[in-house]
A and B are shown apart, each in its own frame.
Chain A
Amino acid sequence: MAAGVAAWLPFARAAAIGWMPVANCPMPLAPADKNKRQDELIILNVSGRRFQTWRTTLERYPDTLLGSTEKEFFFNEDTKEYFFDRDPEVFRCVLNFYRTGKLHYPRYECISAYDDELAFYGILPEIIGDCCYEEYKDRKRENAERLMDDNDSENNQESMPSLSFRQTMWRAFENPHTSTLALVFYYVTGFFIAVSVITNVVETVPCGTVPGSKELPCGERYSVAFFCLDTACVMIFTVEYLLRLFAAPSRYRFIRSVMSIIDVVAIMPYYIGLVMTNNEDVSGAFVTLRVFRVFRIFKFSRHSQGLRILGYTLKSCASELGFLLFSLTMAIIIFATVMFYAEKGSSASKFTSIPASFWYTIVTMTTLGYGDMVPKTIAGKIFGSICSLSGVLVIALPVPVIVSNFSRIYHQNQRADKRRAQKKARLARIRVAKTGSSNAYLHSKRNGLLNEALELMGTPEEEHTGKITSLIESQHHHLLHCLEKTTNHEFIDEQMFEQNCMESSMQNYPSTRSPSLSSHPGLTTTCCSRRSKKTTHLPNSNLPATRLRSMQELSTIHIQGSEQPSLTTSRSSLNLKADDGLRPNCKTSQITTAIISIPTPPVLTPEGESRPPTSSPGPNTNIPSVASNVVKVSAL
């Protein structure tokens, strides 16, 4: 029963009097109307905007938040109203649902925000009215696709810690950006495909005359050279095919896939030619086989995303193409028949039969008009003109559908690439923010330590060293401190950890410990000696010490994002102390990755954490530009 008509229930019950005289048996007792409240106004305060409605309006849907006693949790005794800390715009739609019984979806609203609100109020989105349901479903599907795309690309780029050789090879084949070797292989195969195709083309060009014989095509004049080229190409292709076959996770599926069939078709003619003798009978067939060499050009579709998109579009527009073909066939048959009978009378007409007229009809309908067959009778000319006019229409109709399909898929693809590129930048920014928060703790710790050290040293300098932290921050820091105590380990930041691990492996550094930390008794039990404050070196950079330090400060400021001059000076002073110019020169790419992808503050082990390999082959980034990674967007 629709709750909207609940107000008419008294009427329906009253109308039941009409049954009474007719009834033979006594009626059941009416239910007692216990605690009948007078209808009262309820005030709903949603983020400051007050909505008012009758209590009975809300009680129409008792299985939602507002209709049940769940709303009592939000009741504010002081103001005698129900307070919800939610979006008032969406609440408008929700309340209208109670009032009218129809749930609408506003177009300007974000789909996930709307879904969240509906989930909060306990309303199923399935009851959205017909007027808005289509739009809602469309947006929801779009969003789901987007999320799925994101997840897919995420899964693809997740680091798989240990891939077998076969799996790495397959990954290299499928995604050439994974390693330089794959990239090299990718370009080499592309080059050889181009060489092979050009060879096939040039083979047939007439190449000047050998004196004493007619003009020969280049293929026969320089047959040895061409044969060598062909052999080389086919060998590369064969090797590639065999490698792919070996690396494929499911060989049966790989063999059945389109690309592998193209590969096979491309190299088969060569081997068949090798095997076959120069027999006159079969050479005709052999020549036909050489045609298949042109399929090598389809191998380019592995290299070109645009080709793949085109192929995918054609596949997805199969029904439109089929319709086009069918309607064309129909029209061709009709017009060919008409033209044949119209031209039957004229003498020496080229329209010898209906199939012969097919050629004329096709050429006319596609507005080619070769002119090899022309109608001569008046009737033939009339029908011929109708044929050409209708041809334009029939062809023009399905084409926009195909074009729009292609455009949609292409943009979807570009959007996926753009999203991937943006995602990297976004994730980098998020990570920077995260390190900021973890660094904040470390800094406050050092500050605290510094304060302690200063107090120990008895110099009350810089009263404002300890920045006034908010209560939440101090409580958070206290919590982290408790965790440290519990695990008997400590948080430090990335650079120091890297340093320390390198130093522990190098064994050639003075084991100085900063005075501040030596005051902390509990720290000496840590596994990895890490308290010597060395400046991290920037990989692939040969900057002098001061530049380095300033860059580091710069990075600190950049990461922190807040002005803390006192902190930096204190930090730099610490650095000054320990700066002894010994910088290990190993240029491990590990450091690069550490700066880019910083996980949560590490619980330390001497082995260090496994660093996820970067997927972008971009150049190593400098620290100040952490947020702007070089990302390649695959081009058509």
Chain B
Amino acid sequence: MSSCSTRCKLGFVKFAQTIFKLITGTLSKDKIEDELEMTMVCHRPEGLEQLEAQTNFTKRELQVLYRGFKNECPSGVVNEETFKQIYAQFFPHGDASTYAHYLFNAFDTTQTGSVKFEDFVTALSILLRGTVHEKLRWTFNLYDINKDGYINKEEMIDIVKAIYDMMGKYTYPVLKEDTPRQHVDIFFQKMDKNKDGIVTLDEFLESCQEDDNIMRSLQLFQNVM
């Protein structure tokens, strides 16, 4: 009721303003809101030496990374929209936005909604040059959507569905409705040692280290840079 009356009041005020403008012959001006441009967020990363010390990259590699980063995001920070757009360009077949969303949350360690270059480089350093332990920890963080320290089935299903979304519609064999669920079941069978329906970090680390395939695949992107 109160919202209705406020809306009515706003509408009336607007109407009176329009009549006033009509009578006095004022031309339509730009709205005040439009005049205030979006404040440009500009962020500069810490010095090159500091970053070199913090990460496992060399100076040259940091330079290349920063140039690519700055090219896409001149303001120095990536927001989720840009992140999604960039990531989507690599997967034109399907819809990569959901997975990119989870990725963004994993990168954005401080949960500010924007990823600075330091966060970016730190995460990349772990992914490309980190120890197995660090990588698995990072992956666990990715799967833990609500960051409560446990992965439950729903979170996993979301993640797997996001991965399947990236495949798109035209796959062979044809994607069925419950394929993600089946996939998650297999995963949980492997990971969930005590069968309590959730996977903790230790269970995850243990199970992954037992699996040769996973170990091998973790070393796959060693020489990406």
Contacts and interface: CB of A to CB of B under 8 A. Distances in A.
- Bound pair (A, B): yes
A23 B167 CA distance: 14
A433 B138 CA distance: 77
A39 B64 contact: yes
A17 B127 contact: yes
A5 B72 CA distance: 7
Given A24-B186, A26-B217, A12 B208 contact: no
A29 B221 CA distance: 10
A16 B220 CA distance: 10
Interface string A1-45: 110111111111111111111111111011001000011000000
Contacts of A30: 220-221, 223-224
B72 A7 contact: yes
Interface stretch (B4-12, B83-91, B170-178): B83-91
Interface centre among B60, B123, B163, B217 (most CB of A within 10 A): B217
Interface string B38-69: 00000000000000000000001000110111
Contacts of B186: 24
A474 to B, nearest CB: 55
A27 B212 CA distance: 11
A8 B85 CA distance: 12
Interface residues of B, number: 47
A313 to B, nearest CB: 34
A10 B90 contact: no
A12 B84 CA distance: 11
Contact of A11 (B71, B124, B135, B136): B124
A31 to B, nearest CB: 10
Contacts of A16: 220-221
A448 B213 CA distance: 90
Contacts of A5: 72, 86, 89-90
Max chain B Cβ within 10 angstroms of own Cβ: one of A10, A21, A23, A39: A21
B89 A7 contact: no
Contacts of B225: 10
A21 to B, nearest CB: 6
Interface residues of A, number: 34
A26 B90 contact: no
A26 B60 CA distance: 33
Contacts of A8: 68-69, 72, 86, 90
Contact of A18 (B139, B183, B191): B139
Contacts of A99: 71
Contacts of B69: 7-8
B159 interface: yes
Contacts of B102: 18
Contacts of B60: 38-39
B100 to A, nearest CB: 9
A17 B216 contact: no
A18 B217 contact: no
A7 B71 contact: yes
B46 to A, nearest CB: 19
Residue from A14, A24, A27 with most neighbouring chain B CB atoms (10 Å): A14
Nearest to A20: B217
Contacts of A100: 71
B92 A14 contact: no
A11 B68 CA distance: 11
A22 B181 CA distance: 12
B160 A4 contact: no
Contacts of B123: 14
Contact of B135 (A9, A17, A24, A26): A17
17 contacts: A1-B90, A1-B92, A10-B65, A11-B124, A14-B124, A14-B221, A17-B127, A17-B138, A17-B139, A17-B218, A17-B221, A18-B99, A20-B214, A21-B208, A24-B186, A39-B60, A39-B64
Given A10-B224, A12-B87, A14-B127, 20 more contacts: A1-B90, A2-B89, A4-B72, A8-B68, A10-B65, A13-B221, A13-B224, A16-B220, A17-B135, A17-B138, A17-B218, A18-B142, A18-B143, A21-B136, A21-B143, A21-B187, A39-B60, A54-B67, A99-B71, A100-B71
